[in-house]
Amino acid sequence: MHKRTDTAINLFIDKLDNSGIGISLMQNENVCLVPYTLPGERVKANIINKFKSKMYCSNLEILENSSDRCNKTCEHFTKCGGCLLQHWQYENYKQWKFNLIRQPLLKLTPDIKTLDMISADNYSRRRAKFFLRQDNNSCKLGFKKYKSETLININNCIIIDPEIMEFMSEVKNAFNKSFLTNEILIFHVNKLDYGLDILIQTKKSLRINDLINIFKNFKSKIISIYYQQNNQNPELILFYNKNKLSFGKDNVYGLIPPAGFFQSTKLAENELIKNILNEIQNKNNHVLDLYSGSGTFTLPLLKNSYNVYAIDNNKSSIESLIKSSKEQNLFNNFKYNISNLTKERIETHFFQNFDMVILDPPRAGAITQVTSLGKSKVKKIIYISCNIQTFLRDSIILLSYGYKIKYILPIDQFLYTSHLEIFSVFEI
Ligand SMILES: C[S@@+](CC[C@H](N)C(=O)[O-])C[C@H]1O[C@@H](n2cnc3c(N)ncnc32)[C@H](O)[C@@H]1O
């Protein structure tokens, strides 16, 4: 049970936890967790919640600064919950993040080869989800506060691609002028080759014509706008161009469904594709691409003459893969399946049909698959993960079946957070 208190206390921050929150160690094994602090700092904090031995605090004031504190933060930092670690000198943050994966892996396999971490630039994120709420004549648009439902107005985000930010300001201006609803609207914006693909989600129904009118005179390059009420199928309400996204450097593209997944930054996408292609040489090889999405890896592999079997549970993604592979004459070497990989375990003998298996699961990892995969002794496994904990959990299982990690490449495409993209190669 969470219990709310409102007591201000002074604390010394001993270290950061793995999510980047400052920890103050108390007597009797209790800890206080204070965001936006650094080791060695003294802070004034307010206890907000208690849960078991943890006291969650808000950061009221830094009483003694760490010399590693960086003051060049974005104007919304500490109000918006998107970034947790802009207040640390960048090199310290980078080293800390690298060690989040490096240190536990060293314990598992002391001779691990970890390549230098590659980092995305500011303003490079190609996907964003933001919230809009109108009341009477004003409109708030932005992201939520850390661990809260409070909506924070955002005028300038240093993570997101400027074209998306520009679109966000246009949305805000337009909704300031015409009132549509007082419920929260959720905007998913994907930046694709020809412009922005937008999905607007609501609970209650909106008048579609009013919504269309809002976007008619926008200067932003919009490809399409979909409207979705209560998890029904997204309805295309405005359409200008194709939902195409070029993958890697081989002149091949995917077709991204409304709010569909693709790598957040071009840098990560290029690195992942390049490293996969480096690991496979024989042109007729068969590759199993688990959690394929709309084909970030499948399509460049097909383009390079490999045979690919793609599996994902998202019907729209697999349908888009079928369409894009047909359009580009890549369908002949392509097989697919729509399947829930959390529930349906692939049999060991099926894995044995492949020269390489790629796993790129969501944050929950691939626990249902790794035992059967480990037993298969497939020559090469590429495991791409965005969650250090589930990656380590699944790696332990693969290592227990005799696999060795050839190398890992950390890619920081989730700047100023504890989230990290990990590319890894397992061989037997
Ligand atoms: C991290 S994304 C990777 C997508 C793709 N590899 C890419 O790079 O664009 C994870 C993918 O797993 C899929 N997914 C999530 N849960 C799944 C499940 N239970 N079974 C199968 N696929 C799932 C999602 O639809 C998504 O496409």
Domains of the chain: 3-69 (2.40.50.140), 94-121+263-427 (3.40.50.150), 127-192+195-239 (2.40.50.1070)
**pLDDT at residue number 3:** 47
User: Whose C-alpha lies nearest to ligand 1, atom 13?
Assistant: 291
Tally DSSP H helices, then E strands, for the chain. Answer: 9, 24
Residue 356, helix vs strand vs coil: strand
Pocket test for ligand 1, best of 273, 287, 299, 313 (most atoms within 8 A of CB): 313
Express each pLDDT in 202-242 by its tens digit.
999 899 999 999 998 899 999 999 999 998 999 999 999 99
Distance 30 CA to ligand 1 centre (A): 38
Helix, strand and coil in the chain, % to nearest 5: 25, 35, 40
User: Phi first, then psi: what are they for 123, rounded to 5°?
Assistant: 60, 30
Pairing of strands 185-192, 195-202: antiparallel
Please indicate whether residue 298, judged by its CB atom, sits closer than 6 Å to ligand 1.
Answer: no
**pLDDT at residue number 1:** 37
Separation CA 145–CA 244 (nearest Å) = 33
Please indicate whether residue 263, judged by its CB atom, sits closer than 6 Å to ligand 1.
Answer: yes
**237, containing H or E segment:** strand 235-239
Please indicate whether residue 317, judged by its CB atom, sits closer than 6 Å to ligand 1.
Answer: yes
**pLDDT at residue number 5:** 54
Express each pLDDT in 166-211 by its tens digit.
999 999 999 988 888 989 999 999 999 999 999 999 999 899 999 9
Distance 346 CA to ligand 1 centre (A): 16
Pocket test for ligand 1, best of 269, 273, 291 (most atoms within 8 A of CB): 291
**pLDDT at residue number 2:** 43
pTM of the entire predicted model = 0.95
**pLDDT at residue number 283:** 83
> Which segments of 303-367 are extended strands (E)?
307-312, 334-338, 356-359
**pLDDT at residue number 17:** 96
List of the chain residues with pLDDT < 50? 1-3
Task: Report residue 343 as tokens.
Answer: 């529930």
**pLDDT at residue number 85:** 97
Task: Report residue 132 as tokens.
Answer: 């809009």
Separation CA 306–CA 258 (nearest Å) = 28
Separation CA 171–CA 123 (nearest Å) = 19
